[in-house]
């Protein structure tokens, strides 16, 4: 299981990579592994808004349907249309090509609530 050090994490198993005022969001390796084979993804439209700790989309696997929760509030800058057409990419490359949305950060303080790689790894171990 991977826990890249340059990312931040949520208790709902999303990851965040911040570059300037743009945050790229996806689901973690742990999340995709728990879900099993992903068969469908629903994401918000570009230009829409997301709210911290509120659902922004859905991921469906052969095992379950799960809401995706936004780790920050802001406007949707870009949507990864490639994973809508090929949702299996989430299982293959959750931290790379299978990012979900890019959000223009509305409140930089939102980032303070995210976990480091080590904190997330410890959280996963406690959750099992």
Tell me the per-residue pLDDT of 9-31, one tens digit each, with 9 for 90 and over.
999 999 999 999 999 999 999 99
In this prediction the pTM is 0.95
- What is the DSSP secondary-structure string of 65-120? EEEEE-SS-EEEEEE-HHHHH-TTHHHH-TTTTT--EEEEES-GGGGGGSBPHHHH
Pairwise CA distance, residues 10 & 106, whole Å: 17
Tens digit of each residue's pLDDT (9 = 90 or more) over 56-104: 999 999 989 999 999 999 999 999 999 999 999 999 999 999 999 999 9
CA 56 to chain centre: 10
What architecture is the 8-127 domain classified under in CATH?
Beta Barrel (2.40)
Which sequence spans correspond to the domains of the chain? 8-127
Pairwise CA distance, residues 39 & 66, whole Å: 12
| Residue 126: φ, ψ to 5° | -70, -30
């Amino acid at each position: 299981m991977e826990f890249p050090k340059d990312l931040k994490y949520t208790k709902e198993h999303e990851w965040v990579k911040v570059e300037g005022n743009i945050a790229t969001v996806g689901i973690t390796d742990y999340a995709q592994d728990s879900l099993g084979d992903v068969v469908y993804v629903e994401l918000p439209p570009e230009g829409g808004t997301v709210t911290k700790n509120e659902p922004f989309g859905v991921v469906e696997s052969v095992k379950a349907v799960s809401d995706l929760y936004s780790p920050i509030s802001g406007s949707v800058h870009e949507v990864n249309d490639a994973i809508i057409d090929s949702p299996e990419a989430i299982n293959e490359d959750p931290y790379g090509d299978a990012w979900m949305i890019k959000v223009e950060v509305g409140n930089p303080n939102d980032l303070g609530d995210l976990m480091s790689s080590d904190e997330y790894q410890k959280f996963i171990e406690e959750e099992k």
